[in-house]
Structure 1
Amino acid sequence: MRFIILFILFSVTIFSQEKKVSEIVISNTKKMNSDFILKIIETKVGSSLDSLKVERDIVILTRLNGVSKVEYQIDLLTNSDYKLTLNFTESYTIIPLLNIWTTDGFGSYRLGLYEYNFLGRNTVLGGYYQYNEFNSYGINFSSPSLFSANVGAEANFQKWNSKEPIYLNNNKANYQYTNTSLEILGIYKFDFQNLIKFGTTFFNEKYNYIDGATATDIPQNLDVNKQLYKLQYTFDNLKYDYFKIDGLKSNLYLQYVVSQNNFQDKFVIGWNDLMYYKLVGANGNWASRLRLGLASNSKSPFAPFAVDNNINLRGVGNIIDRGTGTLVLNSEYRHTLFEKNKLAIQSNLFVDAGTWRSPGGNLDDLFSSNNIKVYPGFGIRFIHKKIYNAIFRIDYGYGITKNANNGIVFGIGQYF
């Protein structure tokens, strides 16, 4: 049936340019704002009927927060007029946040509340409070189409406190790390596949020594004001069918940080995440992420790339090392074991592998056996199809390279 509709639309586009879209009907929406939908789609009332535009519009709409699925229907009204009906399946987007874990014997938690589709316009608004031996909180706002279909803005305020390990000649010191920041970004979409974010972050960083190793040339207290200039370019060619994903996506991050201290002067950092998703049969989904990153190569214990459970290698532990360069490959096979109207369960088999350049080291560090870490593992996903991003994941990673750890990693949403 879909092929027949596409054939009709293609024929209309090629041979009958006078055929017009005289009406667009938004059907079955409960929260999505109809004016917003009409603003962001390429097909407009009065325009020529274009099969390629309609297909792109379906991709655009299924990427919106709170939209699970969109189907369309074309009806002939007269010899030259057509009606386009867009039928929506929405998901619930007011999501409470609750994470509980233990660190060094302390009970830790994060509480928050986020609206991912504020006013039905794909706007994210929310905040969180975290206790992890220290108090942290943040407020977040993001509206990619705030000013027009292609122009938006983002603003984030955060006060983050945590215990951070710093490595001094293979010895570890613990510092209390405090980051207070205000970030303001502009968003511009060139088309439905290409987007940039650009702006600045004003922040203050503090490091206060707690315990562990010390060195005469490493301060026990730091208090530094910094400014970060950011550019993010995204190429997105993903197609979604609820929790199943197919296609290619690339995120390039470039940052220039201005600071004045003896341990982290002005520096540049950049990394790219290349993600590839492939549907395998009716129930399989292969997913891979390749991350390549480099930063100014100063010999400092405060290097920007961390080796961490929740960032790159499942099972490795909480910030076990740092570096000024990184190369990481995460690859996993997700298989749907159970799926009904609202719920689904996925199994997950994965391999996480990564390597780092030591602070002040050479690019050869990336190929040193001492720095390469490989963590295969398995996991499970519990998915609520009617709630936005409601994927609860549990993964167990086991290191097979030397001096490896193993452990369980919990989280909300897919790992990547």
Structure 2
Amino acid sequence: MKKIVTACIFIVLMSLGASSQDKIIAVVSIEGNDRTRTNFLKRLAFVKEGAILDSVRIASDVRRFKLLPAVASADYKINNLGDGEFEIIYTIVENFAIIPGLNISNAPNGDFAFRTSIFDFNFLGRNQIIGGFYSRNVFDSFGVYWEAPNLLTRKLGIGLNYQNNVLLEPIFFDNDATVNYKFNTRAVEIKMQYEHNFHNRFELGLNISAQEYDFDNGDEPLEAPLSLGIDTVAVIGEYEYNGINIDYQYQSGFRSILSYNVLLGSNGDNDLLRNAFIGRNDFEYFKRVGERGNWANRLSVAYASNSTTPFAALIVDNQLNIRGVGNSVDRGSAAVVFNTEYRYTLYEKGWFVLQSNVFVDTGIWQDPGGNLGDLVSASNNRVYPGGGIRFIHKRIFNAVFRLDYGIGLGDNATSGIVFGIGQYF
């Protein structure tokens, strides 16, 4: 009995001794941040002063910082202060986060079209996004945005935007007639943003819009209305799982982004514009290949429940899914698109990177008024291999100037150049 009691006392004393040897974080410091506020970064960090030293949580903080648009890279070091106390020093390399944007293309009528924008991705030094765009695509359009992902708490924020888009939209009817409409949509959107952790992020909001289609020019089939209009209120949402690791121009890991739009109510003069549900999920996978290579993949699956209207919600377009296919060349109510490309760093010195890429973009669409069998029809399939070049500034967020050339395979396929800012995906 005495031996048992002695053993228990020994175990308790050993436990107390072990706990007294816990390594305590006495100081958390952040260096290298110029514009980003230190108190904001400390608010995001899992590691707090007085906590037990935990290398896993420190590594989580480093990855969280790297996901911020304002941060190009992050690292840490540990200083032993003695008496079981330690200092954690996070070292931040900041991005320049005030970013102009420019996309150039041909409008559906063949005119020169462009979109210019400017955004601050680190407004007030607190990871807020503010900015707007102006575009000319036959007609003038503009939009303004503000997002504060960490405004209310370190996990909860809000976003607001207003857009007035006026475009020349081609609509394709059953008798092969093409009608161009002046499409005007004015929309206000408000959403709540919740980041459960740096892997899982949610958005939920309302979109209130007024949409109008007015006949501009075309073949004038009998079934083509001269004008359409509808006012809608819709629930919008997004769920993102982010398992991507970023090292300047290189990415590795998996990401999934699910977005949806559910119509709550509408007031209009034609059922052709009504879509009760629009959903899309992008699955992305990146893998480092050697020292300079990066394999990038995206599988996009999309569906709109109103499949009977030629005003289908999903568009085949250069800038969205298939490089080289042209601008708004077709529509569909369901789609499966796969993009794969190999990126290779040709030259890197200081802040500058020259990167090449070869790609294959392929997709298949369900025709408006068709059925899901269209998704296995060879006539609805598009395959576009190609290549391009990237000019990258490592110290400016998303400063990737890309130029791609896609070559269509098959009968009546097109080819073309696609220019933009930011990686294609």
TM over 0.5, shorter chain: yes
Aligned CA RMSD, in angstroms, stands at 1.5
Separation in structure 1 between the aligned mates of residue 284 and residue 271 of structure 2, nearest angstrom: 37
Equivalent position of 1:94 in the other structure: 98
1:180-191 counterparts in 2 under 5 A?
180-191=186-197
Which amino acid is 1:223 matched to? G
* Residue correspondences, number: 403
Separation in structure 2 between the aligned mates of residue 64 and residue 263 of structure 1, nearest angstrom: 41
1:19-58 counterparts in 2 under 5 A?
19-58=23-62
Q: Cα deviation per residue 1:75-103 (whole Å; 9 max; x = unaligned)?
A: 11123211000111111111223344443
**Residue number among 329, 336, 351 corresponding to 1:320 in the alignment:** 329
**Residue number among 133, 143, 166 corresponding to 1:128 in the alignment:** 133
Equivalent position of 1:115 in the other structure: 120
In 1, are the aligned partners of 2:106 and 2:327 still within 8 Å (CA)?
no
Secondary structure at 2:197 match in 1: coil
In 2, are the aligned partners of 1:156 and 1:184 still within 8 Å (CA)?
yes
**Residue number among 352, 355, 360 corresponding to 2:369 in the alignment:** 360
1:279-290 counterparts in 2 under 5 A?
279-290=288-299
CA deviation after TM superposition for structure 1 residue 266, in Å: 4.7
Equivalent position of 1:172 in the other structure: 178
Equivalent position of 2:6 in the other structure: none
In 2, are the aligned partners of 1:246 and 1:277 still within 8 Å (CA)?
yes
Separation in structure 2 between the aligned mates of residue 266 and residue 381 of structure 1, nearest angstrom: 38
CA deviation after TM superposition for structure 1 residue 364, in Å: 1.1
Secondary structure at 1:77 match in 2: strand
**Residue number among 389, 404, 416 corresponding to 1:407 in the alignment:** 416
Which amino acid is 2:241 matched to? F
Which amino acid is 2:167 matched to? S
CA deviation after TM superposition for structure 1 residue 15, in Å: 8.4
Equivalent position of 1:160 in the other structure: 165
1:286-365 counterparts in 2 under 5 A?
286-365=295-374
CA deviation after TM superposition for structure 1 residue 367, in Å: 0.5
CA deviation after TM superposition for structure 1 residue 358, in Å: 1.1
Q: Cα deviation per residue 1:346-386 (whole Å; 9 max; x = unaligned)?
A: 00000000001112212111010010110000000000111
In 1, are the aligned partners of 2:191 and 2:204 still within 8 Å (CA)?
yes
1:192-341 counterparts in 2 under 5 A?
192-257=198-263, 258-260=265-267, 261-341=270-350
Separation in structure 2 between the aligned mates of residue 310 and residue 265 of structure 1, nearest angstrom: 25
Which amino acid is 1:370 matched to? S
Separation in structure 2 between the aligned mates of residue 319 and residue 278 of structure 1, nearest angstrom: 31
Q: Cα deviation per residue 1:61-85 (whole Å; 9 max; x = unaligned)?
A: 0010110000100111123211000
User: Identity of paired residues, percent?
Assistant: 39
Structure 1 residues 266 and 279: CA distance shift in structure 2, 3 A: closer
Structure 1 residues 327 and 102: CA distance shift in structure 2, 3 A: closer
Q: Cα deviation per residue 1:155-208 (whole Å; 9 max; x = unaligned)?
A: 110100111100012221101111100000100111110010000110111111
Moved over 6 A (4+): 14-17
Structure 1 residues 344 and 266: CA distance shift in structure 2, 3 A: closer
Separation in structure 2 between the aligned mates of residue 209 and residue 283 of structure 1, nearest angstrom: 51
Separation in structure 2 between the aligned mates of residue 43 and residue 356 of structure 1, nearest angstrom: 48
Separation in structure 1 between the aligned mates of residue 282 and residue 352 of structure 2, nearest angstrom: 30
Q: Cα deviation per residue 1:16-68 (whole Å; 9 max; x = unaligned)?
A: 87221110111011111101100111111111111111111111000101100
Equivalent position of 1:144 in the other structure: 149
In 1, are the aligned partners of 2:102 and 2:420 still within 8 Å (CA)?
no
Unaligned runs of 5+ in 1: 1-13
CA deviation after TM superposition for structure 1 residue 301, in Å: 0.9
Separation in structure 1 between the aligned mates of residue 20 and residue 393 of structure 2, nearest angstrom: 44
CA deviation after TM superposition for structure 1 residue 308, in Å: 0.7
Say which one has the larger Rg: 2
Separation in structure 1 between the aligned mates of residue 247 and residue 275 of structure 2, nearest angstrom: 44
Unaligned runs of 5+ in 2: 1-17
Equivalent position of 2:111 in the other structure: 106
CA deviation after TM superposition for structure 1 residue 305, in Å: 0.7
Separation in structure 2 between the aligned mates of residue 356 and residue 286 of structure 1, nearest angstrom: 25
In 2, are the aligned partners of 1:17 and 1:49 still within 8 Å (CA)?
no
Secondary structure at 2:212 match in 1: strand
Secondary structure at 2:89 match in 1: strand
Separation in structure 1 between the aligned mates of residue 61 and residue 355 of structure 2, nearest angstrom: 29
Which amino acid is 1:96 matched to? P
Separation in structure 1 between the aligned mates of residue 126 and residue 411 of structure 2, nearest angstrom: 50
Which 10-residue stretch deviates more, 368-377 or 206-215?
Answer: 206-215
**Residue number among 52, 56, 66 corresponding to 1:62 in the alignment:** 66
In 2, are the aligned partners of 1:168 and 1:214 still within 8 Å (CA)?
no
Structure 1 residues 262 and 218: CA distance shift in structure 2, 3 A: farther
In 2, are the aligned partners of 1:228 and 1:256 still within 8 Å (CA)?
yes
Which 10-residue stretch deviates more, 125-134 or 150-159?
Answer: 125-134
Equivalent position of 1:84 in the other structure: 88
